[in-house]
Structure 1
Amino acid sequence: MVSSVHVVTDSTADIPSHLVAELDITVLPCIIAFGNEVYCDGVDLSNAEFYDKLADSPVLPTTAHPPLGVFLETYERLCRGGDAVFSIHISRQLSGTMRTATMAASALPDLPIRVMDSGQLSMGLGWQAIIAARAAQRGLSLDEICEQAAEITGRARAAAALRSLWHVQRGGRIGKAAALLGTALRMRPLVQVLHGEVLPLENVRTWRKALEHLAGYIIAAGPSAELAVLHAANPESGEVLADLLADYFPRERILMGEAGATITTHLGLGAVGICAVLAS
Protein backbone atom coordinates (compact mmCIF):
# COMPACT_ATOMS: atom_id res chain seq x y z
CA MET A 1 0.00 0.00 0.00
CA VAL A 2 1.33 3.47 -0.88
CA SER A 3 2.16 5.32 2.35
CA SER A 4 2.49 8.85 0.99
CA VAL A 5 2.70 10.94 -2.17
CA HIS A 6 5.65 13.19 -2.91
CA VAL A 7 5.18 16.26 -5.11
CA VAL A 8 7.93 17.11 -7.58
CA THR A 9 8.20 20.21 -9.75
CA ASP A 10 10.93 22.27 -11.41
CA SER A 11 12.44 25.63 -10.55
CA THR A 12 10.38 27.50 -13.13
CA ALA A 13 7.56 27.21 -10.56
CA ASP A 14 9.07 30.08 -8.53
CA ILE A 15 7.65 28.71 -5.27
CA PRO A 16 8.98 30.68 -2.27
CA SER A 17 11.47 28.64 -0.24
CA HIS A 18 9.41 28.69 2.96
CA LEU A 19 6.51 26.97 1.17
CA VAL A 20 8.84 24.44 -0.47
CA ALA A 21 10.09 23.47 2.99
CA GLU A 22 6.70 23.61 4.72
CA LEU A 23 5.01 21.42 2.10
CA ASP A 24 8.02 19.16 1.43
CA ILE A 25 7.98 19.86 -2.31
CA THR A 26 10.93 18.55 -4.32
CA VAL A 27 12.11 21.24 -6.75
CA LEU A 28 14.42 20.13 -9.56
CA PRO A 29 16.70 23.00 -10.61
CA CYS A 30 16.92 24.17 -14.19
CA ILE A 31 20.36 24.96 -15.59
CA ILE A 32 21.51 28.55 -16.13
CA ALA A 33 24.63 29.21 -18.21
CA PHE A 34 26.53 32.46 -18.68
CA GLY A 35 28.91 31.27 -21.38
CA ASN A 36 31.08 28.63 -19.69
CA GLU A 37 29.76 29.45 -16.22
CA VAL A 38 27.01 26.95 -15.37
CA TYR A 39 24.69 27.17 -12.37
CA CYS A 40 21.73 25.29 -10.91
CA ASP A 41 18.77 27.64 -10.58
CA GLY A 42 18.19 28.48 -6.93
CA VAL A 43 20.86 26.07 -5.68
CA ASP A 44 24.25 27.67 -6.31
CA LEU A 45 22.89 30.93 -7.68
CA SER A 46 20.36 32.89 -5.64
CA ASN A 47 17.80 35.18 -7.23
CA ALA A 48 19.63 38.28 -6.00
CA GLU A 49 22.95 37.00 -7.33
CA PHE A 50 21.36 36.21 -10.68
CA TYR A 51 19.73 39.64 -10.96
CA ASP A 52 23.10 41.32 -10.33
CA LYS A 53 24.88 39.03 -12.75
CA LEU A 54 22.28 39.51 -15.48
CA ALA A 55 22.48 43.29 -15.11
CA ASP A 56 26.29 43.37 -15.32
CA SER A 57 27.20 40.48 -17.62
CA PRO A 58 28.08 41.11 -21.27
CA VAL A 59 27.08 37.48 -21.91
CA LEU A 60 23.38 36.74 -21.98
CA PRO A 61 22.40 33.53 -20.16
CA THR A 62 20.86 30.44 -21.64
CA THR A 63 18.62 27.96 -19.84
CA ALA A 64 18.10 24.20 -19.93
CA HIS A 65 15.69 21.87 -18.18
CA PRO A 66 16.88 19.40 -15.51
CA PRO A 67 18.64 16.42 -17.10
CA LEU A 68 17.14 12.94 -17.36
CA GLY A 69 19.49 11.51 -14.72
CA VAL A 70 18.22 13.97 -12.12
CA PHE A 71 14.64 12.88 -12.75
CA LEU A 72 15.55 9.20 -12.55
CA GLU A 73 17.48 9.58 -9.31
CA THR A 74 14.74 11.71 -7.75
CA TYR A 75 11.89 9.39 -8.70
CA GLU A 76 13.74 6.28 -7.48
CA ARG A 77 14.68 7.92 -4.18
CA LEU A 78 11.22 9.25 -3.43
CA CYS A 79 9.47 5.97 -4.29
CA ARG A 80 11.48 3.91 -1.83
CA GLY A 81 9.32 2.20 0.75
CA GLY A 82 6.26 2.16 -1.47
CA ASP A 83 5.70 5.90 -1.74
CA ALA A 84 4.37 7.55 -4.90
CA VAL A 85 5.34 10.62 -6.93
CA PHE A 86 3.19 13.31 -8.49
CA SER A 87 5.43 15.31 -10.85
CA ILE A 88 4.04 18.52 -12.33
CA HIS A 89 5.97 20.84 -14.63
CA ILE A 90 6.14 23.84 -16.92
CA SER A 91 4.06 23.73 -20.11
CA ARG A 92 5.47 21.31 -22.67
CA GLN A 93 5.10 24.06 -25.29
CA LEU A 94 7.63 26.21 -23.41
CA SER A 95 10.24 23.66 -22.35
CA GLY A 96 11.52 20.11 -22.81
CA THR A 97 11.00 19.44 -19.09
CA MET A 98 7.76 17.49 -19.56
CA ARG A 99 9.30 15.28 -22.23
CA THR A 100 12.25 14.44 -19.97
CA ALA A 101 10.03 13.82 -16.94
CA THR A 102 7.83 11.50 -19.01
CA MET A 103 10.89 9.61 -20.29
CA ALA A 104 12.10 9.11 -16.72
CA ALA A 105 8.72 7.83 -15.53
CA SER A 106 8.49 5.47 -18.53
CA ALA A 107 11.93 4.10 -17.65
CA LEU A 108 10.63 3.18 -14.19
CA PRO A 109 7.37 1.36 -15.04
CA ASP A 110 7.13 -0.48 -11.72
CA LEU A 111 7.06 2.72 -9.66
CA PRO A 112 3.87 4.73 -8.93
CA ILE A 113 4.75 7.95 -10.79
CA ARG A 114 2.35 10.36 -12.49
CA VAL A 115 3.65 13.20 -14.65
CA MET A 116 1.41 16.15 -15.45
CA ASP A 117 1.68 19.17 -17.72
CA SER A 118 0.60 22.27 -15.79
CA GLY A 119 0.09 24.26 -18.99
CA GLN A 120 1.66 27.12 -17.07
CA LEU A 121 4.88 28.68 -15.80
CA SER A 122 6.07 30.52 -12.69
CA MET A 123 3.49 30.50 -9.90
CA GLY A 124 0.84 29.50 -12.44
CA LEU A 125 2.65 26.17 -12.11
CA GLY A 126 3.66 26.83 -8.52
CA TRP A 127 0.12 27.10 -7.22
CA GLN A 128 -0.73 23.76 -8.79
CA ALA A 129 2.24 22.12 -7.07
CA ILE A 130 1.35 23.79 -3.76
CA ILE A 131 -2.27 22.65 -3.88
CA ALA A 132 -1.15 19.11 -4.78
CA ALA A 133 1.30 19.11 -1.87
CA ARG A 134 -1.39 20.29 0.54
CA ALA A 135 -3.59 17.44 -0.69
CA ALA A 136 -0.71 14.99 -0.17
CA GLN A 137 -0.29 16.22 3.40
CA ARG A 138 -3.98 15.59 4.00
CA GLY A 139 -3.40 11.98 2.99
CA LEU A 140 -5.08 11.96 -0.42
CA SER A 141 -4.12 9.13 -2.76
CA LEU A 142 -2.14 9.56 -5.97
CA ASP A 143 -5.30 9.14 -8.05
CA GLU A 144 -7.14 11.73 -5.96
CA ILE A 145 -4.31 14.22 -6.25
CA CYS A 146 -4.18 13.74 -10.03
CA GLU A 147 -7.94 14.32 -10.30
CA GLN A 148 -7.74 17.46 -8.18
CA ALA A 149 -4.74 18.80 -10.10
CA ALA A 150 -6.44 18.24 -13.45
CA GLU A 151 -9.38 20.34 -12.30
CA ILE A 152 -7.13 23.14 -11.01
CA THR A 153 -5.11 23.37 -14.23
CA GLY A 154 -8.05 24.87 -16.08
CA ARG A 155 -8.37 27.60 -13.45
CA ALA A 156 -4.71 28.69 -13.36
CA ARG A 157 -3.88 32.12 -14.80
CA ALA A 158 -0.60 33.94 -15.32
CA ALA A 159 0.26 37.28 -16.90
CA ALA A 160 3.13 39.74 -16.70
CA ALA A 161 4.10 43.30 -17.47
CA LEU A 162 7.51 43.53 -19.13
CA ARG A 163 9.97 46.35 -19.60
CA SER A 164 10.28 45.14 -23.21
CA LEU A 165 9.60 42.04 -25.32
CA TRP A 166 13.26 41.61 -26.21
CA HIS A 167 14.07 38.81 -23.75
CA VAL A 168 10.94 36.78 -24.39
CA GLN A 169 11.34 37.08 -28.16
CA ARG A 170 15.03 36.22 -28.00
CA GLY A 171 14.16 33.00 -26.19
CA GLY A 172 11.72 32.03 -28.92
CA ARG A 173 8.71 32.33 -26.62
CA ILE A 174 6.93 34.93 -28.72
CA GLY A 175 6.90 36.07 -32.35
CA LYS A 176 9.46 38.55 -33.68
CA ALA A 177 6.76 40.75 -35.19
CA ALA A 178 5.10 41.28 -31.82
CA ALA A 179 8.45 42.04 -30.18
CA LEU A 180 9.38 44.55 -32.86
CA LEU A 181 6.02 46.28 -32.59
CA GLY A 182 6.38 46.87 -28.86
CA THR A 183 9.98 48.05 -29.20
CA ALA A 184 9.31 50.36 -32.12
CA LEU A 185 6.49 52.10 -30.30
CA ARG A 186 8.37 52.10 -26.99
CA MET A 187 5.38 50.48 -25.36
CA ARG A 188 5.15 48.51 -22.15
CA PRO A 189 4.05 45.02 -23.23
CA LEU A 190 1.80 42.68 -21.29
CA VAL A 191 1.86 38.96 -21.96
CA GLN A 192 -0.26 36.06 -20.75
CA VAL A 193 0.02 32.28 -20.65
CA LEU A 194 -2.80 30.88 -22.76
CA HIS A 195 -3.15 27.25 -23.87
CA GLY A 196 0.39 26.62 -22.61
CA GLU A 197 1.96 29.42 -24.66
CA VAL A 198 3.22 32.91 -23.85
CA LEU A 199 1.12 35.26 -25.98
CA PRO A 200 0.82 39.04 -26.27
CA LEU A 201 -1.96 40.54 -24.20
CA GLU A 202 -1.65 44.23 -25.03
CA ASN A 203 0.79 47.16 -25.19
CA VAL A 204 0.41 50.29 -23.08
CA ARG A 205 2.38 53.50 -23.02
CA THR A 206 3.44 53.86 -19.37
CA TRP A 207 4.59 51.50 -16.64
CA ARG A 208 1.82 52.63 -14.30
CA LYS A 209 -0.75 51.79 -16.97
CA ALA A 210 0.91 48.40 -17.43
CA LEU A 211 0.44 47.61 -13.74
CA GLU A 212 -3.15 48.87 -13.79
CA HIS A 213 -3.99 46.79 -16.85
CA LEU A 214 -2.31 43.74 -15.30
CA ALA A 215 -4.51 44.11 -12.24
CA GLY A 216 -7.52 44.58 -14.50
CA TYR A 217 -6.70 41.38 -16.36
CA ILE A 218 -7.07 39.18 -13.31
CA ILE A 219 -9.99 41.13 -11.86
CA ALA A 220 -11.90 40.62 -15.12
CA ALA A 221 -11.22 36.87 -14.94
CA GLY A 222 -13.40 36.59 -11.82
CA PRO A 223 -12.77 35.77 -8.15
CA SER A 224 -9.52 34.04 -7.23
CA ALA A 225 -8.92 31.33 -4.65
CA GLU A 226 -5.14 31.90 -4.65
CA LEU A 227 -3.12 34.89 -5.81
CA ALA A 228 0.59 35.65 -6.12
CA VAL A 229 2.50 38.73 -7.26
CA LEU A 230 6.08 38.19 -8.42
CA HIS A 231 8.81 40.51 -9.60
CA ALA A 232 12.24 40.30 -11.22
CA ALA A 233 14.37 42.78 -9.24
CA ASN A 234 11.44 45.20 -9.01
CA PRO A 235 9.88 44.87 -5.53
CA GLU A 236 8.46 48.40 -5.58
CA SER A 237 6.30 47.64 -8.61
CA GLY A 238 5.27 44.36 -7.02
CA GLU A 239 3.96 46.25 -4.00
CA VAL A 240 2.12 48.74 -6.25
CA LEU A 241 0.44 45.87 -8.09
CA ALA A 242 -0.56 44.19 -4.84
CA ASP A 243 -2.06 47.46 -3.61
CA LEU A 244 -4.06 47.76 -6.84
CA LEU A 245 -5.53 44.32 -6.09
CA ALA A 246 -6.38 45.00 -2.43
CA ASP A 247 -10.10 45.45 -3.13
CA TYR A 248 -10.16 42.29 -5.24
CA PHE A 249 -8.26 39.93 -2.95
CA PRO A 250 -7.28 40.28 0.74
CA ARG A 251 -3.95 42.13 0.71
CA GLU A 252 -2.52 40.03 3.55
CA ARG A 253 -3.22 36.82 1.62
CA ILE A 254 -1.47 37.88 -1.58
CA LEU A 255 1.70 35.81 -1.84
CA MET A 256 4.63 38.09 -2.68
CA GLY A 257 7.63 36.49 -4.36
CA GLU A 258 10.51 36.74 -6.77
CA ALA A 259 10.78 35.41 -10.29
CA GLY A 260 13.61 32.90 -10.43
CA ALA A 261 16.58 32.89 -12.77
CA THR A 262 14.95 30.76 -15.46
CA ILE A 263 11.81 32.88 -15.73
CA THR A 264 13.75 36.16 -15.49
CA THR A 265 16.07 35.07 -18.30
CA HIS A 266 13.07 34.99 -20.63
CA LEU A 267 11.03 37.91 -19.25
CA GLY A 268 13.85 40.31 -18.39
CA LEU A 269 14.75 42.35 -15.33
CA GLY A 270 12.03 44.63 -14.03
CA ALA A 271 9.16 42.35 -15.04
CA VAL A 272 6.21 42.01 -12.69
CA GLY A 273 3.75 39.15 -12.85
CA ILE A 274 0.49 37.93 -11.41
CA CYS A 275 -0.41 34.26 -11.00
CA ALA A 276 -3.75 33.04 -9.73
CA VAL A 277 -6.03 30.08 -9.33
CA LEU A 278 -9.58 31.19 -10.06
CA ALA A 279 -12.29 30.20 -7.62
CA SER A 280 -14.27 27.13 -8.62
Structure 2
Amino acid sequence: MPTAVVTDSTAYLPPGLAERHGLILVPLQIAVGAELRDENEISTAEALQRPATTSSPAPGRFAAAYEAAASAGATAVVSVHLAAAMSGTLDAARLAAKDAPVPVHVVDSGSIGMGLGFAALSAAAAALQGGTPAEVAAAAERRARLTHSLFYVDTLEHLRRGGRIGAAASLLGSALMVKPLLGIDDGRIAPLEKVRTSSRAIARLEELAVARAGDLPVDLGIQHLAAGPRAETLAARLRDRIPQVADVYVGEVGPVIGAHVGPGMLGVVVAPHL
Protein backbone atom coordinates (compact mmCIF):
# COMPACT_ATOMS: atom_id res chain seq x y z
CA MET A 1 0.00 0.00 0.00
CA PRO A 2 1.33 3.52 -0.75
CA THR A 3 0.06 4.53 2.69
CA ALA A 4 0.87 2.13 5.54
CA VAL A 5 -1.29 2.05 8.66
CA VAL A 6 0.25 1.57 12.10
CA THR A 7 -1.69 1.06 15.33
CA ASP A 8 -0.90 -0.27 18.80
CA SER A 9 -1.65 -3.45 20.67
CA THR A 10 -4.48 -1.93 22.75
CA ALA A 11 -6.73 -2.16 19.67
CA TYR A 12 -7.10 -5.84 20.73
CA LEU A 13 -8.04 -6.97 17.25
CA PRO A 14 -9.02 -10.63 16.86
CA PRO A 15 -6.18 -12.96 15.81
CA GLY A 16 -5.25 -12.60 12.16
CA LEU A 17 -7.36 -9.50 11.51
CA ALA A 18 -4.47 -7.04 11.61
CA GLU A 19 -2.44 -9.17 9.19
CA ARG A 20 -5.36 -9.53 6.76
CA HIS A 21 -5.75 -5.75 6.66
CA GLY A 22 -2.04 -4.98 6.42
CA LEU A 23 -1.89 -3.25 9.79
CA ILE A 24 1.44 -2.82 11.59
CA LEU A 25 1.10 -3.28 15.37
CA VAL A 26 3.35 -1.64 17.96
CA PRO A 27 2.99 -3.33 21.38
CA LEU A 28 2.52 -1.47 24.64
CA GLN A 29 4.43 -2.87 27.57
CA ILE A 30 3.61 -4.05 31.05
CA ALA A 31 5.92 -4.32 34.04
CA VAL A 32 5.32 -7.49 36.04
CA GLY A 33 7.53 -7.39 39.08
CA ALA A 34 10.94 -6.21 37.86
CA GLU A 35 10.39 -7.46 34.30
CA LEU A 36 9.17 -5.24 31.44
CA ARG A 37 7.44 -7.24 28.72
CA ASP A 38 5.45 -6.54 25.57
CA GLU A 39 1.82 -7.11 26.37
CA ASN A 40 1.46 -9.63 23.56
CA GLU A 41 4.08 -11.77 25.30
CA ILE A 42 2.09 -12.25 28.49
CA SER A 43 -1.43 -13.49 29.10
CA THR A 44 -3.92 -11.30 30.91
CA ALA A 45 -4.42 -14.04 33.49
CA GLU A 46 -0.69 -14.14 34.26
CA ALA A 47 -0.48 -10.34 34.54
CA LEU A 48 -3.40 -10.25 36.96
CA GLN A 49 -1.74 -12.74 39.30
CA ARG A 50 1.02 -10.27 40.19
CA PRO A 51 1.18 -6.50 40.67
CA ALA A 52 1.59 -4.92 37.25
CA THR A 53 2.00 -1.45 35.79
CA THR A 54 1.64 -0.40 32.17
CA SER A 55 4.11 1.47 29.99
CA SER A 56 3.89 3.31 26.68
CA PRO A 57 6.28 2.20 23.91
CA ALA A 58 9.49 4.18 23.54
CA PRO A 59 9.61 6.44 20.47
CA GLY A 60 12.19 4.04 19.04
CA ARG A 61 9.51 1.36 18.70
CA PHE A 62 7.47 3.66 16.47
CA ALA A 63 10.56 4.79 14.57
CA ALA A 64 11.30 1.14 13.74
CA ALA A 65 7.72 0.59 12.56
CA TYR A 66 7.82 3.66 10.32
CA GLU A 67 11.18 2.66 8.89
CA ALA A 68 9.90 -0.85 8.18
CA ALA A 69 6.88 0.56 6.37
CA ALA A 70 9.09 2.80 4.25
CA SER A 71 11.44 -0.11 3.47
CA ALA A 72 8.43 -2.14 2.30
CA GLY A 73 7.53 0.60 -0.19
CA ALA A 74 5.15 2.88 1.68
CA THR A 75 5.40 6.55 0.77
CA ALA A 76 3.44 7.70 3.85
CA VAL A 77 2.20 6.34 7.17
CA VAL A 78 -1.02 6.92 9.13
CA SER A 79 -0.46 6.00 12.77
CA VAL A 80 -3.70 5.49 14.77
CA HIS A 81 -3.49 5.10 18.56
CA LEU A 82 -5.25 5.03 21.88
CA ALA A 83 -6.48 8.27 23.41
CA ALA A 84 -3.81 10.77 24.38
CA ALA A 85 -5.74 11.44 27.57
CA MET A 86 -5.16 7.82 28.64
CA SER A 87 -1.51 7.26 27.73
CA GLY A 88 1.72 8.79 26.50
CA THR A 89 1.63 6.47 23.47
CA LEU A 90 0.46 9.20 21.10
CA ASP A 91 3.26 11.53 22.22
CA ALA A 92 5.83 8.80 21.53
CA ALA A 93 4.38 8.28 18.04
CA ARG A 94 4.48 12.01 17.32
CA LEU A 95 8.09 12.24 18.48
CA ALA A 96 9.12 9.37 16.23
CA ALA A 97 7.18 10.85 13.31
CA LYS A 98 9.44 13.93 13.26
CA ASP A 99 12.43 11.93 12.00
CA ALA A 100 10.61 9.27 10.00
CA PRO A 101 11.84 8.59 6.43
CA VAL A 102 8.31 9.24 5.06
CA PRO A 103 5.52 11.62 6.17
CA VAL A 104 3.60 10.29 9.16
CA HIS A 105 0.08 11.42 10.09
CA VAL A 106 -0.61 10.59 13.76
CA VAL A 107 -4.30 10.14 14.69
CA ASP A 108 -5.73 10.24 18.21
CA SER A 109 -8.63 7.76 18.19
CA GLY A 110 -9.96 9.18 21.44
CA SER A 111 -10.61 5.61 22.52
CA ILE A 112 -9.06 2.25 23.33
CA GLY A 113 -9.84 -1.41 22.66
CA MET A 114 -12.05 -2.00 19.62
CA GLY A 115 -12.96 1.70 19.68
CA LEU A 116 -9.39 2.15 18.47
CA GLY A 117 -9.48 -1.09 16.48
CA PHE A 118 -12.39 -0.09 14.26
CA ALA A 119 -10.74 3.28 13.51
CA ALA A 120 -7.54 1.50 12.48
CA LEU A 121 -9.48 -0.97 10.31
CA SER A 122 -11.25 1.90 8.53
CA ALA A 123 -7.89 3.53 7.88
CA ALA A 124 -6.56 0.24 6.49
CA ALA A 125 -9.61 -0.14 4.22
CA ALA A 126 -9.10 3.39 2.85
CA ALA A 127 -5.41 2.65 2.28
CA LEU A 128 -6.19 -0.57 0.43
CA GLN A 129 -8.52 1.41 -1.84
CA GLY A 130 -5.67 3.73 -2.74
CA GLY A 131 -6.68 6.68 -0.59
CA THR A 132 -4.28 9.55 -0.07
CA PRO A 133 -2.67 9.86 3.38
CA ALA A 134 -5.14 12.63 4.24
CA GLU A 135 -8.07 10.43 3.17
CA VAL A 136 -6.76 7.48 5.17
CA ALA A 137 -6.35 9.62 8.29
CA ALA A 138 -9.81 11.14 7.77
CA ALA A 139 -11.37 7.66 7.56
CA ALA A 140 -9.87 6.77 10.95
CA GLU A 141 -10.96 10.05 12.50
CA ARG A 142 -14.52 9.78 11.22
CA ARG A 143 -14.96 6.17 12.35
CA ALA A 144 -13.59 7.08 15.77
CA ARG A 145 -15.97 10.02 16.02
CA LEU A 146 -19.00 7.85 15.17
CA THR A 147 -18.09 4.98 17.50
CA HIS A 148 -19.55 4.46 20.99
CA SER A 149 -17.63 2.58 23.69
CA LEU A 150 -19.64 1.39 26.70
CA PHE A 151 -18.53 -0.85 29.52
CA TYR A 152 -19.35 -2.30 32.90
CA VAL A 153 -16.89 -3.00 35.71
CA ASP A 154 -17.44 -5.00 38.87
CA THR A 155 -15.56 -2.37 40.89
CA LEU A 156 -14.01 1.05 40.30
CA GLU A 157 -11.02 0.19 42.46
CA HIS A 158 -8.75 -0.85 39.58
CA LEU A 159 -9.46 2.35 37.67
CA ARG A 160 -8.86 4.40 40.81
CA ARG A 161 -5.53 2.70 41.55
CA GLY A 162 -4.37 3.13 37.97
CA GLY A 163 -5.23 6.83 37.90
CA ARG A 164 -7.60 6.38 34.94
CA ILE A 165 -10.91 6.96 36.71
CA GLY A 166 -11.53 10.50 35.44
CA ALA A 167 -15.06 11.83 35.92
CA ALA A 168 -16.17 8.39 37.14
CA ALA A 169 -14.59 9.38 40.47
CA SER A 170 -17.99 10.89 41.26
CA LEU A 171 -19.27 7.34 41.76
CA LEU A 172 -16.65 6.34 44.34
CA GLY A 173 -18.77 7.36 47.31
CA SER A 174 -21.72 5.23 46.20
CA ALA A 175 -22.96 2.23 48.12
CA LEU A 176 -20.83 -0.89 47.74
CA MET A 177 -23.47 -2.74 45.75
CA VAL A 178 -23.77 -0.07 43.06
CA LYS A 179 -22.46 -1.34 39.71
CA PRO A 180 -21.18 1.41 37.40
CA LEU A 181 -21.80 1.71 33.68
CA LEU A 182 -19.13 3.80 32.00
CA GLY A 183 -18.32 5.21 28.59
CA ILE A 184 -15.45 6.92 26.81
CA ASP A 185 -16.08 10.57 26.05
CA ASP A 186 -13.42 12.69 24.32
CA GLY A 187 -10.75 10.18 25.28
CA ARG A 188 -11.69 10.03 28.95
CA ILE A 189 -13.70 7.61 31.06
CA ALA A 190 -17.06 9.08 31.95
CA PRO A 191 -19.92 7.79 34.14
CA LEU A 192 -23.14 6.82 32.37
CA GLU A 193 -25.35 5.21 34.98
CA LYS A 194 -25.20 3.25 38.23
CA VAL A 195 -27.23 0.11 38.73
CA ARG A 196 -27.80 -2.00 41.83
CA THR A 197 -26.77 -5.45 40.61
CA SER A 198 -24.43 -6.91 38.02
CA SER A 199 -27.29 -8.64 36.17
CA ARG A 200 -29.19 -5.37 35.85
CA ALA A 201 -26.03 -3.57 34.81
CA ILE A 202 -25.40 -6.04 31.97
CA ALA A 203 -29.05 -5.83 30.88
CA ARG A 204 -28.76 -2.06 30.84
CA LEU A 205 -25.48 -2.28 28.89
CA GLU A 206 -27.38 -4.26 26.26
CA GLU A 207 -30.14 -1.64 26.10
CA LEU A 208 -27.64 1.20 25.70
CA ALA A 209 -25.84 -0.64 22.90
CA VAL A 210 -29.11 -1.28 21.04
CA ALA A 211 -30.05 2.39 21.41
CA ARG A 212 -26.65 3.56 20.12
CA ALA A 213 -26.93 1.28 17.09
CA GLY A 214 -30.47 2.28 16.15
CA ASP A 215 -31.25 1.35 12.55
CA LEU A 216 -27.73 2.05 11.31
CA PRO A 217 -25.46 -0.60 9.78
CA VAL A 218 -22.90 -1.24 12.51
CA ASP A 219 -20.02 -3.46 13.55
CA LEU A 220 -19.79 -4.59 17.17
CA GLY A 221 -16.89 -5.37 19.45
CA ILE A 222 -17.77 -7.32 22.60
CA GLN A 223 -14.80 -7.27 24.95
CA HIS A 224 -14.36 -8.73 28.39
CA LEU A 225 -11.92 -9.70 31.11
CA ALA A 226 -12.41 -13.16 32.61
CA ALA A 227 -16.10 -13.01 31.59
CA GLY A 228 -16.21 -15.10 28.41
CA PRO A 229 -19.66 -16.70 28.86
CA ARG A 230 -21.23 -13.29 29.64
CA ALA A 231 -19.60 -11.83 26.53
CA GLU A 232 -20.82 -14.63 24.25
CA THR A 233 -24.35 -14.34 25.64
CA LEU A 234 -24.38 -10.59 25.16
CA ALA A 235 -23.04 -10.93 21.61
CA ALA A 236 -25.81 -13.40 20.72
CA ARG A 237 -28.50 -11.11 22.12
CA LEU A 238 -27.16 -8.07 20.28
CA ARG A 239 -27.01 -10.02 17.00
CA ASP A 240 -30.73 -10.75 17.45
CA ARG A 241 -31.73 -7.25 18.50
CA ILE A 242 -29.74 -4.93 16.21
CA PRO A 243 -31.35 -4.96 12.75
CA GLN A 244 -28.28 -4.03 10.66
CA VAL A 245 -25.43 -5.63 12.54
CA ALA A 246 -22.55 -6.68 10.28
CA ASP A 247 -19.30 -7.94 11.86
CA VAL A 248 -19.31 -8.97 15.52
CA TYR A 249 -15.98 -9.57 17.26
CA VAL A 250 -15.83 -11.14 20.72
CA GLY A 251 -12.58 -11.25 22.65
CA GLU A 252 -10.74 -10.77 25.91
CA VAL A 253 -8.78 -7.57 26.47
CA GLY A 254 -5.06 -7.75 27.08
CA PRO A 255 -3.12 -6.97 30.22
CA VAL A 256 -2.77 -3.22 29.61
CA ILE A 257 -6.53 -2.66 29.81
CA GLY A 258 -6.85 -5.56 32.24
CA ALA A 259 -4.60 -3.87 34.78
CA HIS A 260 -6.99 -0.90 34.88
CA VAL A 261 -10.45 -2.50 34.77
CA GLY A 262 -10.14 -5.77 36.71
CA PRO A 263 -11.84 -9.15 36.20
CA GLY A 264 -15.52 -9.10 35.28
CA MET A 265 -15.31 -6.15 32.90
CA LEU A 266 -17.73 -6.37 29.99
CA GLY A 267 -17.76 -3.82 27.19
CA VAL A 268 -19.55 -3.11 23.93
CA VAL A 269 -18.17 -1.01 21.09
CA VAL A 270 -20.79 0.12 18.56
CA ALA A 271 -19.14 1.28 15.35
CA PRO A 272 -21.45 2.61 12.61
CA HIS A 273 -20.23 2.13 9.07
CA LEU A 274 -18.74 5.10 7.22
Same fold (TM over 0.5): yes
The match for 1:61 is 52
Retained in 2: the 8 A contact 1:227–1:274?
A: yes
1:216-253 per-position Cα deviation (integer Å, ceiling 9, x unaligned): 22222233521110111211110121133121156773
Question: Structure 1 residues 86, 251: CA separation in 2 closer, same or farther (over 3 Å shift)?
Answer: closer
Q: Which runs of 5+ in 1 are unaligned?
A: none
Retained in 1: the 8 A contact 2:2–2:130?
A: yes
Moved over 3 A (4+): 175-179, 249-253
Pick aligned residue for 2:270 from 254, 276, 280: 276
Give the alignment's TM-score, normalised by structure 2.
0.91
Q: What is the distance in 2 between the residues matched to 1:26 and 1:234?
A: 28
Q: What is the distance in 1 between the residues matched to 2:181 and 2:138?
A: 32
1:145 aligns with 2:139: no
Pick aligned residue for 2:44 from 43, 50, 63: 50
Q: Which runs of 5+ in 2 are unaligned?
A: none
The match for 2:250 is 256
Retained in 2: the 8 A contact 1:120–1:156?
A: no
The match for 2:26 is 28
Q: What is the distance in 2 between the residues matched to 1:210 and 1:79?
A: 47
DSSP 3-state at the match of 1:119: coil
DSSP 3-state at the match of 1:154: helix
Shift of 1:206: 1.5
1:152-193 per-position Cα deviation (integer Å, ceiling 9, x unaligned): 2210111111111111111111158435334x4322211100
Q: What is the distance in 1 between the residues matched to 2:266 and 2:187?
A: 19
The match for 1:88 is 80
Shift of 1:38: 2.0
Pick aligned residue for 1:242 from 231, 235, 257: 235
Q: What is the distance in 2 between the residues matched to 1:53 and 1:76?
A: 31
Q: What is the distance in 1 between the residues matched to 2:149 and 2:102?
A: 33
Identity over aligned pairs, percent: 33
DSSP 3-state at the match of 2:269: strand
The match for 2:191 is 200
Retained in 1: the 8 A contact 2:3–2:74?
A: no
Q: What is the distance in 2 between the residues matched to 1:152 and 1:250?
A: 17
Retained in 2: the 8 A contact 1:229–1:273?
A: yes
Question: Structure 1 residues 134, 94: CA separation in 2 closer, same or farther (over 3 Å shift)?
Answer: same
Retained in 2: the 8 A contact 1:224–1:276?
A: no
Give the alignment's TM-score, normalised by structure 1.
0.89
Q: What is the distance in 1 between the residues matched to 2:243 and 2:155?
A: 28
Pick aligned residue for 2:158 from 143, 161, 167: 167
Q: What is the distance in 2 between the residues matched to 1:53 and 1:148?
A: 34
Retained in 2: the 8 A contact 1:242–1:251?
A: no
